Amino acid sequence: MTAEKITYREALRQAHIDAMKKDDRVYLMGEDVSLYGGAYAVSKGLTEMFGSERIRDTPLSESAFTGTGIGSALGGMRPIVEIMTVNFSLLAMDQIVNTAATFCHMSGGQFSVPIVIRMATGAGRQLAAQHSHSLEGWYAHVPGLKVVAPATIEDARGMLWPALEDPNPVLMFEYAGLYNKKGELPDDTNLVSLEGAKIRREGTGITLIGWGGTLDKCLDAAEELAKQNISAEVVDLRCLRPLDTTTILESVKKTNRVVIVDEAWRTGSLAGEISALICENAFYDLDAPVQRVCSDEVPIPYAAHMEQAALPQIGDIVSAALACFGTEEVVA
């Protein structure tokens, strides 16, 4: 088996090319996706390959073009709607939550909305308070939506086609700090199931749960813990709705300790839901209280040092893990 080394961005681009070659109904629409090549260069060169009918620039109106995508999905197309950043999705909240998510139910199962909505999420790039949100947990709250967060090159490459085949709306959250990440993509890369977490590192002493932009921090924290003879298992949720409760609970029952890492704010976070899930189903398997590492309860600052201080960091994860063992030693 050989492997190609590519960026997360290029993996997404290849996924688009593959999908558009497979199915003429697939098209991409969003702000600056055509002539400019996309805000994150995911669609660079696709207009030359597929034409402006299938790579469509839109007005600056998220509600309008998301609604257009929903309408075309109902009409038999397979749209990919790119929303530049997650905060802009708030302008399309009614379309996503009140229309796309409910149409199958409201029609008694007669109609489905096979739309894929992609958006960049996360902080850490000095884009200040209005462009640094991690709101995937908001959408994971909504029945009728499937919510995924590819954190690896392979998942970025393999999730798009299954999302397009799904008869219901799929929201794909791409952590913006990953676009330049390089990794190996095996030649035999397979399509990725949109249901099911994945163990990224086996361990026996504690479980670290992350997704999207927090996965690599969990893996780095596991390396630091290994230096202190603590074996950390790292669970990549991958799919935030539906949650893979089986993998989560099996890991916690094996390690008896858990740290959940979520870049969203702690109050009302997805980390809180996962914590409740564990306490309801594995309380007597825990040897220490569930620990959560989340962003500080502030709008994300612009200044680099303040932004980093507000976000979960590797040292924070290590400290939370050590607290599960009754020690407060801090690892920088």
| 144: pLDDT strictly greater than 70 | yes
CB atoms within 10 A of CB 72: 19
Q: How confident is the model at residue 329 (pLDDT cuts 50, 70, 90)?
A: low
Overall average pLDDT of the 52-79 stretch? 97
pLDDT at 265: 97
221 backbone dihedrals φ, ψ, rounded to 5°: -65, -35
Q: Which one is the CATH code of 198-323: 3.40.50.920, 3.40.640.10, 1.20.1300.10, 2.30.29.30?
A: 3.40.50.920
Instruction: Give the count of alpha carbons within 13 A of 177, CB side only.
Output: 18
pLDDT at 185: 86
| 212: pLDDT strictly greater than 60 | yes
Residues designated catalytic: 62, 131
| 331: pLDDT strictly greater than 70 | no
Q: How confident is the model at residue 272 (pLDDT cuts 50, 70, 90)?
A: very high
- Quote the CA–CA distance of 49 and 40 in Å, as a whole number: 18
Per-domain residue ranges for the chain? 3-186, 198-323
Overall average pLDDT of the 6-32 stretch? 97
Overall average pLDDT of the 117-129 stretch? 94
pLDDT at 1: 52
The DSSP call for residue 219 is H
| 190: pLDDT strictly greater than 80 | no
Overall average pLDDT of the 125-146 stretch? 95
Strand order in the sheet with 239-241: 55-57, 26-30, 78-85, 116-121, 170-175, 146-148, 239-241
Classify domain 3-186 by CATH architecture. 3-Layer(aba) Sandwich (3.40)
Residue 228, helix vs strand vs coil: coil
Domains 3-186 and 198-323 share a fold: yes
Q: Where are the alpha helices (DSSP H) in 227-292?
A: 245-255, 270-282
| 167: pLDDT strictly greater than 50 | yes
Check: pTM over 0.85? Answer yes or no.
Answer: yes
